[in-house]
Amino acid sequence: MDFLKDNFWTILIVLNYIIAISAAFTILLKNINPTKTLSYLLILAVFPFLGLIVYYFFGQEYRKNKIFSRKNIHNQSVIKKVQESLELDSYELEKFDELLDEKSKLIKLLHNNEKSKLTINNKVDLLKNGEEKFKFLLADLKEAKEHIHLEYYILKDDKIGSKIINILCQKAEEGLSVRLSFDDVGSKISSKAKQKLKKSGVSFFAFMPVKFPKFTGKMNYRNHRKIAVIDGRIGYVGGINISDTYINYDDSKNYWRDIHLRIEGNAVSSLQILFLTTWNFVSNNTIDINPKLFPKIITKSDVPVQIAASGPDTDWANIMESIFSAITNAEDYIYITSPYFIPNDEIILALVVAARSDIDVKIIIPKDSDSWTAQYATNSYIEGLLEANVGIYRYEKGFIHSKTMVVDDVFSSVGTANMDYRSFNINFEVNALIYHKPTAQALKEIVELDLEHCEEVNYEDWMNRPNIDKLKESFCRLWAPLL
């Protein structure tokens, strides 16, 4: 006992490094991204105990472990019939091949990866900021006749959250099937609100509950999606969560810029399938899929839309690959807006090559981020991009949270995925890919208006920033794969 007391810390340190060495071998054998591997090995070697904690919470690879099973949903006959009904015939595919030229590779890429069907019977509306999104969403929720399905990363029972919760409760009491899924880390719902939902007959589940959500803001494998499906006919997807933060009230202290998408048409079926796969996981029950969840929809528009989803339940990083493919097939311009720009090497290389090939590449990021580590990590990439003639613009009017991309007046993307490691590889994300010139041009106009409120980063001025900032950037970049 005296020996143990006298050598307590030495024994703990030895045990720490025995476990750390074992973890290091596990990491090496996974053959994951070298930068990410080195980041984990560094913290295991330099930070005793803390390194093991970080690896335990952030280093587990669930995609390969397949704990998020989708088979119970995708094997159901109704789902198979829905997916078959969305399949375009060879004539329709050839038609869009001619329209999109080389960009049609995107369609085939996602179809081959995740059987993500291109749908053409769609009407889409770009919704600017929370004020516009919630005006439409509240109206659609009130008009619901069959069912309401909501899946959100952040849900709070503040002013806007309470309005939505009240409508959900009212609709459930009217006999509609109302299902609600929210991420346990991102959301904050009072016990009173939960009791009201339960009493009204709203079925709700938290996604991967944690004991201390306040201290797990960056816990791995969170559901970052924002999906609403109403009667299987109307769908919403984009960057706007359910919280007052996302609405610019008259008394709001900070201006919040964001984009959301409202869809009517066949693409809603793809969002519905995604919701049902999540619901199957959070409820731990196999849902008896009713054909009424997938009504036949006829719209007056024919906007081609493809839903790209990625996360620990997908075999491939679908959203990252679609962004990479869009960049490498660009011919005229690439405009990207992202609140967190911490891309992997593949995306950086694609952007640099595009810019050096005389393609107009513009990237909008916040001037002041809500995360100092993310901001310094983002800043560490700016110098190399400026040297390649990529235009970097920092939004000054407020916080820009839009997650959009528009290419060559043909292709546009609106969704939940940030341009960072976490969205590409770890969290559950969903983007709508739109192959439609009027929509791309409309999104381009929105981006050009945002550029008017941006400060363009000048190369000479940037190179003269304080050395202490450069040191902070280099330090935070080491953690980039973990942010």
Which positions are catalytic?
224, 226, 231, 401, 403, 408
CA distance 81 to 90: 19
* Of the candidates 378, 303, 305, the residue with the CA atom closest to the CA atom of residue 336: 378
Pairing of strands 305-310, 429-435: antiparallel
| Cβ atoms of 363 and 385 closer than 8 Å | yes
Distance CA 83, CA 146 (A): 21
| Strand ranges (E), 45-119 | 118-119
Determine how β-strand 391-395 pairs with β-strand 360-366: parallel
Half-sphere exposure at residue 410, Cβ-oriented, CA atoms within 13 angstroms: 18
CB atoms within 10 A of CB 208: 17
Helix (H) or strand (E) holding 237: strand 234-238
d(CA 43, CA 22): 14
Sheet holding 118-119, edge to edge: 118-119, 305-310, 429-435, 411-415, 404-407, 333-337, 360-366, 391-395, 454-456
Closest CA to 148 of 67, 242, 223: 242
Strand partners, 407: 334, 411
Phi, psi of 321 (to 5 degrees): -65, -35
Measure the CA–CA gap between 45 and 71, rounded to whole angstroms: 39
> How many CB atoms lie under 10 A from the CB of residue 451?
16
With CA atoms as reference, report the closest residue to 38 among 480, 418, 483: 480
Q: Helices H, strands E: what count in the chain?
A: 20, 20
Closest CA to 324 of 417, 216, 213, 212: 417
Say how many Å lie between the first and final Cα of the chain, rounded. 42
What is the three-class DSSP state of 122?
Answer: strand
